[in-house]
A and B are shown apart, each in its own frame.
Chain A
Amino acid sequence: MIDELLTIFLDGAIYASWLFIVALGLTFVFGVLKILNIAHGGIYALGAYSTATLVPIFYSLGVPEQFVILTMLISALAVAIVITPIMERGILRRFYGQDEVLIVLVTYAIYLVLEDVQKLIWGMNSLYVSEPRELLGALEFGSLYYVGYDLALIGLAIFCGLFLWLVLNKTKSGKIVLAVIHNPEISGCMGVNINKVYLAAFFVGAFLAALAGSFTAPLISVQVGISVAVVIESFAVVIIGGLGSIPGAVIGALIIGMARAACVHKLPEAEIFIMYLCMAGMLIFRPKGLFQGTQARKI
């Protein structure tokens, strides 16, 4: 009984931390740019693919094994560096200030393009990079064995969330971003380069998506279609927590992660369904999510 609860808890926490990293980028981009980015899932997949490509190259170089983590970071960074100017400067910039739903559709179009870009670059075959997963060995909890790498993901998620929160709330550049979130026009008048802030925020969001992808790559087979599910799952998280809220993303990821882990062990039929149910339930009872403030209606 205790074992089962512990399993559910740990599985849920691992799943939640993965989900949190994806959702963190999504919610941050929405907070700053007011864009609900469907293509976020596409960037996630690109991160996974680039890791699956770079890590085997890394191993063929014969560098000490520990540096593989660095390679994964670099591959995520590379994806963000390539994708940000194209998406934000090239396409999304044209639609700022327009209807939110229209921009969702634009990011859906970008998502479609990214789907095929993956196929064109990496083909239809599955890629496997399970080596980094063996790096941290296994841990024992009573009668349970957990892979160290999986548990390290929890640490990574906590680090990402805390880091972003601290930067936003404790540094000058963070305060500038908060000012832009609050009111882009006034901050522009005060001398803030809004375009720069938008670019930076989008970069952070893209990097987080790619990071989640590249650290998930060792756990899964990287193949066509891995981005489809991510989109809705991370949507569910940010909807539950409230769009644009970091604490909200934590709670959202935990709710979905735990609910899903509980379902996998207790009620496997409902595994996929539970997530959507959480999202729909939250929207019905608290449509703006757990952590969204009230907004004044404009006449």
Chain B
Amino acid sequence: MSPKLINNIFFQSIFLMSLLIVVGIFIPNWLVFVITKAIAYGLVGLGIITLMRGGLVSFGQGFVFGIGGYTAGLLGTQAGLTDAILLLFISFIFTGFVGLIIAPLLARYRDIFFAMLSLAFSMVLYGILIKIDAIGGSDGFVLPESTYFGIKPSPEYADYMLYVVSIIMTGIVSIIIKYYYDSTPGLIALAVRENELRVEYLGSSAFNVAVLNFTIAAGLGGMGGALNGIALGHIDPEFTYWTTSGEFVFISILAGYLSVPAVFLAALLLELVRSFSGRYFPDTWQLILGVFLILSIIFIPSGIGSFFKKFFDKFKNK
């Protein structure tokens, strides 16, 4: 294979997507479910990475995760819209729009203040959601079974169907995001990360970069939330709680901001650690998760994405 082909994003993505779709036929149903959940979490992580490229970390992505989930859920129960693809798409657009509205508020802040204000937003939403009894209060509500192009798959294929849809949609989104990263505004974000003031002196707006990145992150988070809601078949205010947001930050730190696929791998790792320790050590899964988290920050400080980057850079140099 020529190095050029290996470095082609389309080739990489289509190869990876078809591989996952084929593998999905053979792996047990619980693993299909775990991967679907990992994709949902990975989408939110991808949003945080988009922010991280501009030097910001949001500790409140539960906010957009919850909005996306509730959008999909309410459209399903109230409007009778059950098409998974449409739900994911609408959640993406709608949450991105919400993100665009609050982004100018957030984009003025940096570092810990950005993290805290985003956290405050998610907790305000949490406080509201647990009090609205019409949508289940703190118990949440059950989503109707999803359909695909008007067809409702039989129960044994429902998980696989959602898995395929989520892989294809995420693949497309990832390609677009990758193109965005390599575009002018995407690269300015990296410069902002290095030195914001110099970027401003050179005539670009760090504020606009932050707004754009937050909007994208919101859209991705909303899509992740919708996918997670559809996969679980249930949604509750826990989606917006700060502990959920903490997991997203963990995924993005574990992945690092250097690679798009790394974030899904990191999300899968988290889901696997969680489901295995949940199954075998039900009382201590948080402990295992915490230790795993600390160790991975100590030993892979720049994230697993740095390995990916090294691997592909090898082909580039030839």
Contact = CB atoms under 8 A, between A and B. Distances in A.
A128 interface: no
B41 interface: no
A133 to B, nearest CB: 29
Interface stretch (A147-155, A184-192, A201-209, A275-283): A275-283
Contacts of A98: 301
B272 interface: no
A57 interface: no
A120 B284 contact: yes
Interface string B152-167: 0000000000000000
B117 interface: yes
A272 B126 CA distance: 9
A36 B249 CA distance: 15
A116 B108 CA distance: 38
Contact of B123 (A91, A111, A279, A287): A279
A284 B108 CA distance: 9
B70 interface: no
Contact of B287 (A100, A117, A299): A117
A106 B294 contact: yes
A9 interface: no
Contacts of A273: 124, 127-128, 131
For chain A, give the interface size range: 35 or more
Nearest to A280: B120
B297 A105 contact: yes
B243 interface: yes
A115 B246 CA distance: 15
A276 B250 contact: no
A228 to B, nearest CB: 7
B253 interface: yes
Nearest to B122: A276
B105 A284 contact: yes
B169 interface: no
A109 interface: yes
B82 to A, nearest CB: 32
A101 B286 contact: no
B242 A231 contact: yes
A168 interface: no
Contacts of A101: 57, 59, 111-112, 115, 249
B253 A102 contact: yes
Contacts of A110: 290, 294
A297 B197 contact: yes
A104 B195 contact: no
Interface in A238-280: 239, 243, 269-270, 272-273, 275-277, 279-280
B298 interface: yes
Given A105-B246, A119-B284, A276 B115 contact: no
* Chain B interface size, under 10 / 10 to 19 / 20 to 34 / 35 or more: 35 or more
Interface string B282-304: 01111101110110011001000
Interface string B69-93: 0000000000000000000000000
A239 B116 CA distance: 8
Q: By DSSP majority rule, is chain A's interface helix, strand, loop, or mixed?
A: helix
B198 interface: yes
Interface in B233-268: 242-243, 246, 249-250, 253
A272 B127 contact: yes
A275 B289 CA distance: 29
B121 interface: yes
A172 interface: no
A111 B243 CA distance: 10
Contacts of B293: 105-106, 108-109, 112
B242 to A, nearest CB: 6
Interface in B96-131: 105, 108-109, 111-113, 115-117, 119-121, 123-124, 126-128, 130-131
Contacts of B130: 272
Interface in B186-225: 195, 197-198
B250 A113 contact: no
Nearest to A119: B283
B287 A283 contact: no
A100 B112 CA distance: 7
Contact of B297 (A106, A280, A297, A298): A106
Interface of A: 36, 38, 91, 94-95, 98-102, 104-106, 108-113, 115-117, 119-120, 228, 231-232, 235-236, 239, 243, 269-270, 272-273, 275-277, 279-280, 283-284, 287-288, 297-299
8 contacts: A36-B116, A101-B115, A109-B297, A113-B290, A239-B116, A239-B120, A283-B116, A284-B117
Given A112-B293, A283-B116, 20 more contacts: A100-B112, A104-B59, A105-B249, A109-B291, A110-B290, A110-B294, A113-B291, A116-B286, A117-B287, A239-B116, A272-B131, A273-B124, A279-B116, A280-B121, A280-B124, A284-B105, A287-B113, A299-B195, A299-B197, A299-B198
